[in-house]
């Protein structure tokens, strides 16, 4: 039996459901959902969203430890910057709200081998040492899956 990697499940959820508009609220922004950030992505995309595993742990549940719960935290990074028709900070806020909407809409049925998930935190990590400034936030998503041992 082959199961989809939960990271791919999260990437696909975001990729298939995200809709972002530029400052005029009419023109769609181009969004890339990827495993990691790379500077060359700015040539083609206006918003970059990355997904990566932060940590995971497991615990045995049930009589005799016949099942285990795997709790994994994934980090979804939102990257924006000022571009034609886009204010970086405003677009970052829109992207955070859109990712949160997607996570909350799929909280009880994320797909793949995941049983449920929730948004547990968000932190800003702007890069002001580069020009133009990179507006960056990390959202932490806690996922749960149950496996028979």
70 in any annotated domain: yes
Asked if residue 19 lies in contact with residue 27, where contact means CB atoms within 8 angstroms, the answer is no
120 in any annotated domain: yes
pTM of the model: 0.93
Instruction: Give the residue carrying structure tokens 């800003």.
Output: 124
Q: Is the pLDDT of residue 35 over 90?
A: yes
pLDDT band at 1 (very low <50, low <70, confident <90, very high): very low
1 in any annotated domain: no
Mean pLDDT of the chain: 95
What is the domain-level CATH number for residue 69?
3.30.2000.30
**For 71, phi and psi rounded to 5 degrees?**
-110, 120
Of 70, 3, 72, 74, the C-alpha closest to 33 is 74
Give the span between the Cα atoms of 103 and 80, in whole angstroms.
20
pLDDT band at 2 (very low <50, low <70, confident <90, very high): low
What are 11-30's pLDDT values in tens digits? 999 999 999 999 999 999 99
17/2: higher pLDDT: 17
Structural domains counted in the chain:
1
35 in any annotated domain: yes
Neighbours of 132 (CB within 10 A): 12
Tell me which residue range forms the domain holding 130.
6-148
CA atoms within 13 A on the CB side of 8: 5
Give the span between the Cα atoms of 103 and 29, in whole angstroms.
20
- Secondary structure E strands in 1-131: 31-34, 47-61, 67-80, 116-124
């Amino acid at each position: 039996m082959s199961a989809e990697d939960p990271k791919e499940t999260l990437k696909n959820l975001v990729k298939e459901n995200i809709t972002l508009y530029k400052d005029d609220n009419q023109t769609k922004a181009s969004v890339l959902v990827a495993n990691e950030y790379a500077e060359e992505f700015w040539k083609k995309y206006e918003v970059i969203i990355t997904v990566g595993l932060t940590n995971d742990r497991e615990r045995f549940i049930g009589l005799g430890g016949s099942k285990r719960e795997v709790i994994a935290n994934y980090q979804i990074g939102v990257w924006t910057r000022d571009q034609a028709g886009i204010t970086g900070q405003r677009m970052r806020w829109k992207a955070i709200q859109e990712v949160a909407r997607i996570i909350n809409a799929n909280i009880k049925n994320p797909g793949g081998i995941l049983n449920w998930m929730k948004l547990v935190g968000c932190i800003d990590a702007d890069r002001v040492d580069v020009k133009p400034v990179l507006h960056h936030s990390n959202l932490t998503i806690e996922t749960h899956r149950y496996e028979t041992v």
